[in-house]
Structure 1
Amino acid sequence: MKKIIFFIVILLSSYACVNEVALPVIATFSTEIVVNDKTVPVKVKIINSTEGADTYSWTFNGASPATSSNRNPGTITYDKEGTYIVKLEASNRDGSIDVKEKTIKVNSAINIGFETQVVENNFSPVKIKITNTTVGATTYDWFFEGGVPSTSTKQHPEDIAFTTPGTHNIRLKVSNGDEEYTLEKTIEVAPLLSANFEYAVAFEDDDYQVPVKVTLENKSISATNYQWTFEGANITTSSTENPEIIFNTPGTYTMQLKALNSKSEKTISKTITVYENTNLRTFTNIKLGINTAHKNNHIGAYFSTQTRKVYTQSKVNNTIGSKIDIAFFGLNETFNFNKFISPNKVQELAFSAIPNATITKLINKQESCGCSSSVSVTNFNAMTNDAFLTSLNVDETVGGLTEFDNVEKPRIVIFETADKRKGVIKINEFVKDGANSYIVIDIKVQKEAN
């Protein structure tokens, strides 16, 4: 009996000793950045792997929620950049406690941006002012295509210059250590300054006989100002972009253009030669069709010494009609009946009437006109000015208006326009081509009546 009681006492003693040993707590947890996005808002998943604990006290400084007593608090959110502590205090019924802390770094969101401003103007060399508006970045890498310098790591780079004309890229790459973003913009450098111009004389002055009116077409590139100087013209200088000038005296003259912008200047010169005014205009190898060629709109029978063009019947309107000086009627391809007629009388020879037609005096057959003046082929060929025409009397007679055939070649026909300009036609050829037969003529006529 005593042995049994002793055994029980020993057993109870042993049991009391076991209860006095507390179960330890080992606090441990891990964090996971959701989708690895470390810029605000940052979501952090808490994974608790603590052992031996019954209760949990979480503190999330700067996060939402700020605290939790759940074993697994789930996901917390940080809305502001900074460095934060996640703290876990775990305990059990035996009074065991363990504390674990982890640091969370939250970066601000990157908002990349920059502005470029051309200093003064975009003529080479171009200086660029850069305003960096990026927020949330800690490093900056600039690339200036064609620029000097070509790269920079400054937050606000300065003194960037471009000299080569064309489009240039400016690229910024920024990072906060975890993420990086790139933004690219372009700037334009204007072409290099060049001075150039073309000139054209007025339509009526294309023989370059004085007075000659000249229009200058400025073709300079990247210029903002122009300084013209003219030798021998009615004006000696001009600052307009496309001036007009007049040369009144024969000679060879220099026209000079200095093109400028705020950074450079270029100069170019050209010469022009103008001649004495002969008051004689010459047309060669003019084709005038017989009546079928004219009516079929293949080769016209009307000619204007003002527009210097041949017109078929369908091309004549009210404006053109008043400018026609010469009308030819050829009956057929045999050329046995031909005559030049006044524009106001073409309807008498199977043509439609010319609107606003004028009167031209004509001598088709000098041998039948009984006129006091006559013109030979030699006279025609020798004319280099209008002196001969000035002394010519154009006496229109019935005989002089008579038709002619193609036997005599060359044949001379004399005329005087409605505005009193005298002229001579030389028929060089009668060309047979069926319904499209035609004559080939030269004409010498006064530019202005005396």
Structure 2
Amino acid sequence: MKKIINIIVIFCFFGCVKEEAVPVVVDFNFDVFNNDFSIPVQVVFFNRTEGAEDYEWKFEGGSPSRSINRNPGLIRYEEKGTYKIELIGTNQDGSRDSKIVEIKIDNPVFIDFDFNNLVDNFSPAIYTFDNQSSGASTYLWTFEGGTPLNSSERDPGEVTFVDPGNHNVTLVIDNGRETLDLQKTITVAPFLTSDFEYQPAFEDDDYQIPVRVQFDNNSISATTFEWSFTGASSIFSEAESPEIVFTEPGVQTITLKTSNGKDTKTVVKNIKVFANTNLRVFEDVKLGINTAHTSNVLGSFYSISNRSVYTSNEINNETGKNVDLVFFGLNESFTRNKFVSPNGLSETTFTSLQNPKHTIFINSQELCNCAASLSAQQFDMMQDDTLLKNLMIEETPGGLQSFDSTMTPRIILFETQEGKKGAIKIKEFVQEGQNSYLLVDIKVQKESI
């Protein structure tokens, strides 16, 4: 009986104990992909809730905007803003808990800028800057060598660069969580300088009037040019590199004034030109004997206009028509020598020319029996063409006779097809075997009179 009573007491005790509900404790965290809060933003949530059986996620501004999964997967945000994220957890015991956090989504952070000079890039160069960046809240500009040196404005206004050369411009932007920087280079042109060189025309390199001169402008950072000349056919020019003809002898002055709108520089130089002697002088010309010519060692053909000696392989239709003088030396002993007309090569071993000129020669004044006469002393003293223009140069059988090396110096007279009169002074018969040659000076009129 006593045992039955104990069982009844125990049953009554446990029957009176109330069952307690399991509490819900909501917690979660999240990771932003690449820690990039600039749209588009991708977020993964990690549910740390305890005691819950059912879940409800609310993603303000997100896609998707709701989920009932314990772990909702990837949520995307496409617009800037501050959004609430709420998680509600419940269970069958009626327990409920929630947690709300906020996430701030930023606009994309993009950095770029452009620059423009207000006038030009000559010193002092003034630039403005067009900030094309977006998504930033702060800006820091650095202007290497500029005034000002830096700025924290979105658009820094005008910046002046004085020193020529490259200047780095750096922009750093920040949105509170992300920092970007960009550097570009501004180039300031060199300081203005004024300078020039000049070169006479090929045919005027003796600087005798009229002298045609080409000016080469070496100025730096110039945009306008003002030239002035004394003693010239044109006394003023605004061309960058003009060609000028000087017509008066003496020391002439050339002035170049340059500008770039911000600075002006002037340079003055002199050029000395001489009276026209109408005499062209060529010294120490080497004319080879026929073997030297045909072996292309020393040429026998000479062009007055080109001032060139031509060997056999240099003669063609173009060069051949410019040949004025041909020397024919039979051998290295110089036993038989003569100058022949370019159109009279049939009496030599040379090949005939195409469209040759005709030149009159007096090889042997002593056999000429003519009025023309010029001594070596007269040749040396000749400063202009006075003696030449008074010569009556005619071909005679005696004057065309060949000569040997017994008389040095020897003077050969000639008249070109254009009527220019001249003289050749043989200074030396140089014996070097098959490469033997004459060493001569030539004086000839520039223009026929």
Give TM-score, length-normalised by structure 2. Answer: 0.94
Q: Which residue of 2 aligns with 1:308?
A: 307
Q: How does 1:91-130 map to 2 (within 5 A)?
A: 91-130=90-129
TM superposition shift of 1:45:
1.9
Q: Which residue of 1 aligns with 2:18?
A: 18
Cα distance between partner residues in 1 of 2:196 and 2:83: 72
Q: Which residue of 2 aligns with 1:82?
A: 81
Instruction: Identify unmatched segments of 5+ residues in structure 2.
Output: none
- In the TM superposition, structure 1's runs of 4+ consecutive aligned residues that sit over 4 Å from their partners are 1-7
Equivalent residue letter for 1:364: N
Give 3-state SS (helix, strand or coil) of 1:18's partner. Answer: coil
Cα distance between partner residues in 1 of 2:314 and 2:232: 39
Cα distance between partner residues in 1 of 2:397 and 2:53: 139
Cα distance between partner residues in 1 of 2:181 and 2:32: 24
Give the 3 Å change call, closer, same or farther, for CA 384–89 of structure 1 in structure 2: same
Q: Which residue of 2 aligns with 1:438?
A: 437
Q: Which residue of 2 aligns with 1:40?
A: 39
Q: Which residue of 1 aligns with 2:235?
A: 236
1:73-112, Cα deviation, whole Å (9 max, x unpaired):
2332222222222112222333322221222222222122
TM superposition shift of 1:226:
0.7
Equivalent residue letter for 2:232: A
Moved more, 232-241 or 149-158: 149-158
Q: Which residue of 1 aligns with 2:270?
A: 271
Give 3-state SS (helix, strand or coil) of 1:306's partner. Answer: coil
Equivalent residue letter for 2:151: S
Q: Which residue of 2 aligns with 1:376?
A: 375
Moved more, 430-439 or 25-34: 25-34
Cα distance between partner residues in 2 of 1:347 and 1:147: 80
Cα distance between partner residues in 2 of 1:420 and 1:11: 155
Q: Which residue of 2 aligns with 1:351?
A: 350
CA contact (8 A) 2:330 2:337 kept: yes
Q: How does 1:24-423 map to 2 (within 5 A)?
A: 24-423=23-422
Cα distance between partner residues in 1 of 2:249 and 2:35: 86
Moved more, 328-337 or 372-381: 372-381
Cα distance between partner residues in 2 of 1:4 and 1:174: 87
1:338-390, Cα deviation, whole Å (9 max, x unpaired):
11111111221111112211221111111111112321111111111111112
CA contact (8 A) 2:33 2:41 kept: yes
1:304-328, Cα deviation, whole Å (9 max, x unpaired):
2211111112222333333222111
Equivalent residue letter for 1:211: P
Cα distance between partner residues in 2 of 1:284 and 1:134: 74
Moved more, 428-437 or 79-88: 79-88
CA contact (8 A) 2:279 2:383 kept: yes
Give the 3 Å change call, closer, same or farther, for CA 27–351 of structure 1 in structure 2: same
Cα distance between partner residues in 2 of 1:78 and 1:4: 70
Cα distance between partner residues in 2 of 1:70 and 1:332: 116
Cα distance between partner residues in 2 of 1:302 and 1:143: 71
Cα distance between partner residues in 2 of 1:96 and 1:308: 115
Instruction: Identify unmatched segments of 5+ residues in structure 1.
Output: none
Give 3-state SS (helix, strand or coil) of 1:379's partner. Answer: helix
CA contact (8 A) 2:231 2:249 kept: no
Give 3-state SS (helix, strand or coil) of 1:292's partner. Answer: helix
TM superposition shift of 1:254:
0.6
Moved more, 140-149 or 243-252: 140-149
Give the 3 Å change call, closer, same or farther, for CA 99–289 of structure 1 in structure 2: same
Moved more, 379-388 or 140-149: 140-149
Output the aligned Cα RMSD: 2.0
TM superposition shift of 1:411:
0.8
Cα distance between partner residues in 1 of 2:294 and 2:246: 43
Give the 3 Å change call, closer, same or farther, for CA 15–60 of structure 1 in structure 2: farther
TM superposition shift of 1:252:
0.6
Cα distance between partner residues in 2 of 1:53 and 1:5: 43
Q: Percent identity?
A: 47
Cα distance between partner residues in 2 of 1:9 and 1:135: 80
1:244-294, Cα deviation, whole Å (9 max, x unpaired):
222212111110111111211111111011111111111110000000111
TM superposition shift of 1:176:
2.0
Give the 3 Å change call, closer, same or farther, for CA 155–8 of structure 1 in structure 2: farther
TM superposition shift of 1:298:
1.1
Give 3-state SS (helix, strand or coil) of 2:343's partner. Answer: helix
CA contact (8 A) 2:51 2:91 kept: yes
CA contact (8 A) 2:129 2:158 kept: no
TM superposition shift of 1:420:
1.4
1:174-198, Cα deviation, whole Å (9 max, x unpaired):
2222222233333332222211111
1:418-449, Cα deviation, whole Å (9 max, x unpaired):
11111111100001111110010011111111
Give the 3 Å change call, closer, same or farther, for CA 11–229 of structure 1 in structure 2: same
1:378-419, Cα deviation, whole Å (9 max, x unpaired):
111111111111221213211111111101111111111111
Give the 3 Å change call, closer, same or farther, for CA 57–385 of structure 1 in structure 2: same
Cα distance between partner residues in 2 of 1:198 and 1:208: 15
Equivalent residue letter for 1:85: K
Give TM-score, length-normalised by structure 1. Answer: 0.94
Cα distance between partner residues in 2 of 1:213 and 1:29: 93
